[in-house]
Structure 1
Amino acid sequence: MSEEELQGALQGLLYVCGDEGLVVKDAARVLEISEEEAAQHLHQLKDWMQTNMPGLQLKEFGSKFQMVTSEAAAPYIEKLADVPDKANLSQAALETLAIVAYNQPVTKAEIDDIRGVKSEKAVQTLVNKALIIDAGRAQTTGRPIIYQTTERFLEYFDIPSIKELPDLHDKSEDESADEADLFFDQLNEES
């Protein structure tokens, strides 16, 4: 398969996968190439799209790639779709989301301990918005549910990987507070 045919096949796969995105492993299987080659070709396509397709871009979320519209096209798409503004997350939900993101997997009791208040409603809101999920049961007394962020969380906040969150350890208290404030500001703007 030529490079042009391969890039065309990837574009088609990305289009068909839509909101689900294309997992590198699936691309490799379908195209009968290694996962490393699939990832390399997807990164090449991402670079090519930046230059040649200003209305679309290829985003990477963990091991998944998703074709999305560019930010420049967003106002026009919103007008066409007449999309109402997204509802903001409450302060409790934002705090809970940050706790889950930085401490995952984490139980509701652990979230409550960190926040110092009950978090049931905030956890339910985040589950309903598919920003966190029930990731199984802890192997402790009572086997409480453990929570973790989802790929939707990465997409929603345009974070390629959970590893891209600001490191709140090994920094001065002021630096950590500034980065945490930036994270919360981005959460408030995006939600």
Structure 2
Amino acid sequence: MELKHVIETILFVSSKPLTARDILRILKTTAEQNPDHELAANLAKFSEKEIETQIQQLAAEYEGRGQGFKPVCVAGAWQFATLPEFAPWLRTTLGGAKPRPPRLTQAALETLAIIAYRQPITRAEIEQIRGVNVDAVMQTLLERGLIEVVGRAEVPGKPPLYGTTEEFLQYFGLRSLDDLPGAQHLRKPAQQISQTTTPSSQSHTEKEPALPLTESNKTVQPHNTNTASLPNEPLVANANGPIENPTPNPSQPDEKVPSS
């Protein structure tokens, strides 16, 4: 594996243009986080000037291949972009596509993890586990099509039960709910599903793990390796080439319920 190939991969998945200094910082950080990785240690020894030279060589190679995209320099930084002559097909392909919605907040990801592992589940049960009001978060997840009402609990008032949707599986790149990490021991027991109780009579107060905050990438790189978590959000390519991997801010506060 050459430095050029590593640079190519970094530029391909980056959501923003990167300078040679940015890439050098990534190489050094990778070496620090993987002290036993010999290649990572060797790549971190390259200079900023050498990295810039490698990027320019990479750009020249793409130019000679005649491909539909290539590395381009934007304000001193590099990113992958499609060539202008392919714009008509890209407009047709993406013309009807809706803009990618904003990233899910940490509060939304934590709530979604609880629903994914404990479904079907009522809003009150979710609030008992999280310890905060989830009205605004639930509304966001419903609007994004990641959860839906799947039934009614057999308790007074018959509150709606929530579960995940096919959109949820697509969003996180899962074939089925069976692909959830640790799903077998985190998912609600069958007898608890058939006899849903009110939050006041529910015996467990276990707090569910949050979704991974670093990507992974994928591919799965949990925020806390001691707890199970959902896969990172999927890589999403845009028309200009860069690929974005959403990374929620763990310090972001819970969403607040809008005042009526």
Using the size of structure 1 for normalisation, the TM-score is 0.50
The structure where helix makes up a greater share of residues is: 1
Using the size of structure 2 for normalisation, the TM-score is 0.37
Q: Is the radius of gyration larger for structure 1 or structure 2? A: 2
Higher relative contact order (CA 8 A, sep 6+): 2
